[in-house]
Amino acid sequence: MSTLNSLAKKINGVAQIPNESVGSSVGMVETCYFHFAHPPNELILESNEKLGPITVAYETYGKLDDQGSNAVLILHALTGDAHAAGFHKGDIKPGWWDEMIGPGKAFDTDKYFIICSNVLGGCKGTTGPSSNNPKTAKPYGLDFPIISVSDMVNVQKNLIDHLKIDRLLSVAGGSMGGMQALEWLTVYPNKLKSAIVIATAAKHSPQQIAFHEVGRQAIMADPHWRDGHYYGGLPPAKGLSLARMIGHITYMSEISMAEKFGRRPGDEKPHKFSVGSEVEDYLYNRGNHFVKRFDANS
């Protein structure tokens, strides 16, 4: 049972015995694809560059009501994807926000029509640097234009129009997803009734810029980086893994990290790089796991 759901039940004062059927899964799901911005009608980006055609990978859970009034758009963070809930065929693990999305869960699919799409520039089905550049018939790599949160939201707006939704009940996202939520509120205030904005900011602080820069430098220092033209060869896995390790440090507060990995008696042995402390092993595993599912150019 999700925390929000528990909280709601506590607030409502309803005494329930928790059981497996509370907050069940949306079950088997499939990713859908929406294509638009075909030349000569390319999308004009914030940078004034044109991009097209564009494919958007998205999933939906629940049913849109007759008034089209129950649609909630889920906005993922930097490394997320469209697969927010349920199971793809053959998968053991559900989508990335399955704890929150499903019948009886916080985003209750018995009530709401939930949409989640991969962002522009991503690497999970929506057009991004690993997509083929129609001009060269090869992956864009670094020729992919620099995109902004505003461009991501513009693409989502095109998807919502395609789904014939005039006004969203809500948009919800954390981190870079929260930045998209703020952009929705600012640019399309009449297109949504509410927004759930989590753990985010309207712009990056110098410290955040610095952490991102070090992550980028780590990727670009990898000999497999080859200016982003690594498709078909080995990807810059060590650099990307390092960038992910740096990211993970910033995803936890100093206090929560101390609680999770505080040194315990017996941890004080000197070591020679190969055997690490718990926090070192954790970061190393996070980094190694990440490179299997994410493209450095994205």
Binding site for a copy of itself (CB under 8 A): 46-47, 142, 146, 148, 203, 205-207, 209-211, 213-214, 216-218, 220-223, 238-239, 241-242, 245-246, 248-249, 252, 254, 257-258, 260-263, 270-273, 276-277, 279-280, 283-284, 287
State the minimum distance, in angstroms, from the CB of residue 270 to a copy of itself.
4
**For the chain, what percentages of helix, strand and coil (3-state, to nearest 5) are there?**
30, 15, 50
Query: Is 83 in contact with 113 (CB distance < 8 Å)?
Result: no
Looking at the Cβ atoms of 9 and 248, the one nearer to a copy of itself is 248
State the minimum distance, in angstroms, from the CB of residue 1 to a copy of itself.
30
CA distance 10 to 88: 33
List Cα–Cα distances, 142 to 24, 118, 146, 165, 228, in angstroms.
42, 19, 9, 34, 6
| Longest CA pairwise span in the chain (Å) | 66
Looking at the Cβ atoms of 58 and 290, the one nearer to a copy of itself is 290
117: enclosing H helix or E strand: strand 113-117
Looking at the Cβ atoms of 231 and 284, the one nearer to a copy of itself is 284
Find all residues with CB under 8 Å of 86, minimum gap 6, and list them. Answer: 25, 26, 27, 28, 29, 59, 61, 94, 95, 98, 102
Looking at the Cβ atoms of 38 and 216, the one nearer to a copy of itself is 216
Looking at the Cβ atoms of 28 and 249, the one nearer to a copy of itself is 249
Looking at the Cβ atoms of 102 and 239, the one nearer to a copy of itself is 239
Looking at the Cβ atoms of 13 and 270, the one nearer to a copy of itself is 270
Residue whose token pair is 């490179």: 291
State the minimum distance, in angstroms, from the CB of residue 228 to a copy of itself.
9
Q: Where are the alpha helices (DSSP H) in 60-166?
A: 149-162
How far is residue 166 CA from its own chain's centroid? 24
Query: Is 60 in contact with 108 (CB distance < 8 Å)?
Result: no
Of 138, 76, 134, 21, whose CA–CA distance to 294 is shortest?
A: 76
Q: Is the dihedral of CA 102, 108, 112, 117 positive or negative?
A: negative
Query: Is 260 in contact with 105 (CB distance < 8 Å)?
Result: no
Looking at the Cβ atoms of 41 and 208, the one nearer to a copy of itself is 208
